[in-house]
Amino acid sequence: MSDVMLQEAISVAASLMLLISFALLAQHRLLSVLHWFAAQGVVLALTTLLVAVISGHYELYFSALMTLLLKGALLPWLIWRIIRKMHVHREVEPLVNMPVTMLIALALVLISFYVALPIERMSQLVTHNTLAIAIATVFLGMLMMITRKKAITQVIGFLSIENALFFTAVGATHGMPMIVELGVAFDVLIAAIIFGLFFTHMRNTFDSLDLDVIQEKSKR
């Protein structure tokens, strides 16, 4: 493949990342949120692979593979197990309704575009124009954490922020040093397991994963 084609492929992958971030926000059902989260992991792995081909950093091939296995398969599977065990796969309850959330999300994309503009002008990398999208996906993950009531959707939001940060790192600097990446990947894995335990405890103590209910009960 030529460089132009690779560059276009990266553009497509970046816009897919943005689309998936919006899809994560727009879902009503917990299981479809999870499916989109898995899709985000796969697209992230694909992007990493593309950047690896362009830049020729061999480490990136390894981290693409690791992303695919960890974020495309293992983490979604862990969360799926939690959802199945707790029988919470009903509605996602947003604090603000969907169209308003979408409008806020669009505004966030605009802001990140504005913020990233001067950095993009300085950068010499082939991936320089994906930076705005990378920052936007971080924002959208944060928005998802803020606007959801259920603990599980918040955790998926947190994990999607991590995905977005990884995407930012790959796009802005062609990846972090291997040791950092390994550490982060391991941390996220451990975090997912701890969240699982945490959910079980919350469930046992408060009989709910809805944070409003938990707040009410802990006041008493």
Partner 1 sequence: MTLWALNLAQAALMVLAAPLLAGIIQKCKARLQNRRGASILQPYRNLLKLFRKETLLAENASWIFRTTPYVLFTTTALAASVVPVLLVDLPSALIADVIAMAALLALARFWLALAGMDIGTAFGGMGASREMTFSAMAEPAMLMSMFVMSLGAHSTNLSTMVQHALHLDHLLPSVAFALAALLMVAIAENGRIPIDNPSTHLELTMIHEAMILEYSGRHLALIEWASQIKLLLFATLIISLFVPWGIAESPAIQPVLAALVFWFGKVVLLTVALAVLETGLAKIRLFQVPEYLSTAFVLAFLGMLVHYILEVGA
Q: How far is the CB of 10 from partner 1 (least distance, A)?
A: 9
Q: Which residues of 16-30 are buried (b: 16+ CB within 10 A; e: fewer)?
A: bbbebbbbbbbbeeb
Q: Which residues bind partner 1 (CB under 8 A)?
A: 5, 7-9, 11-12, 14-16, 18-19, 22, 26, 98-99, 102, 105-106, 109-110, 113, 120, 128-130, 132-133
Would you say 33 or 151 has its CB closer to partner 1?
33
Q: How far is the CB of 210 from partner 1 (least distance, A)?
A: 23
Start-to-end Cα distance in the chain: 64
Q: Which residues pair with 94 in a beta bridge?
A: 148
Would you say 39 or 75 has its CB closer to partner 1?
39
Would you say 157 or 171 has its CB closer to partner 1?
171
* Packing angle, helices 3-26 and 151-173, rounded to 10: 160
- Cα–Cα distance, 14 to 75 (Å, whole number): 22
Q: How far is the CB of 151 from partner 1 (least distance, A)?
A: 25
Would you say 5 or 179 has its CB closer to partner 1?
5
Q: What share of residues in the chain are helix, strand, coil (percent, to 5)?
A: 85, 5, 15
- Cα–Cα distance, 11 to 13 (Å, whole number): 5
Q: How far is the CB of 107 from partner 1 (least distance, A)?
A: 10
Would you say 16 or 39 has its CB closer to partner 1?
16
Find the DSSP H helices in the chain.
Answer: 3-26, 30-55, 58-69, 75-86, 98-122, 131-147, 151-173, 178-206, 211-219
Q: How far is the CB of 113 from partner 1 (least distance, A)?
A: 6
Tokens of 168: 């930012």
Q: How far is the CB of 194 from partner 1 (least distance, A)?
A: 34
3-state secondary structure (DSSP) of residue 76: helix
Q: Scanning the structure block, which residue is given the tokens 């409003």? A: 212
Would you say 137 or 163 has its CB closer to partner 1?
137
